[in-house]
Amino acid sequence: MSFNNLDTLYRQVIMDHYKNPRNRGAVEGDALTVDMNNPTCGDRIQLQLQVEDGVVQDAKFDGEGCSISMSSASMMTQAVKGKKLDDALKMSKAFSQMMLGEEMDDLGDTDFGDIEALQGVSKFPARIKCATLAWKAMEKGVQE
């Protein structure tokens, strides 16, 4: 597959998550809730995680922002559901490394799936904060 075709496919994946967000809404019952914003561009997110026995049982988000931040939130909530908190944090670290153009730490058999579509954002430093907003919210919630 040529670079142009791959770039087009990645754009389509990002726009699909933006127009048809997965896990948008609120978690029913008790949930860890984190509000974060990106003051440089106005993106804001409220992330809710339902954690039981160290495993993310449910993850939902709400907010407003650009296609990068909202699609990243959609992808992240899909990716962390069913994961142990440690594994979710490892994914977040690897995602940050990907955004900075660094070599990702060994993730074992972790599949990034649709999240790989965001790797092109690393070419646009001003958009990296958009892509990492939801991930930083997850890290903040888990660490608190």
Tokens 């029913």 correspond to what residue? 28
Q: Which residue has the higher pLDDT, 56 or 144?
A: 56
CATH topology of domain 3-143: Sufe protein. Chain: A (3.90.1010)
For the chain, domain boundaries: 3-143
Strand-pair category, 55-64 with 43-52: antiparallel
Q: Which two tokens stand for residue 83?
A: 């994961």
- Average pLDDT of the chain, as a whole number: 91
Report pLDDT digits (tens) over 43-55. Answer: 999 999 999 999 9
CA-based radius of gyration for the chain = 14
On whether the CB atoms of residues 94 and 139 are closer than 8 A, the answer is: no
Report pLDDT digits (tens) over 92-141. Answer: 999 999 999 887 766 656 678 899 899 889 989 989 999 999 999 999 99
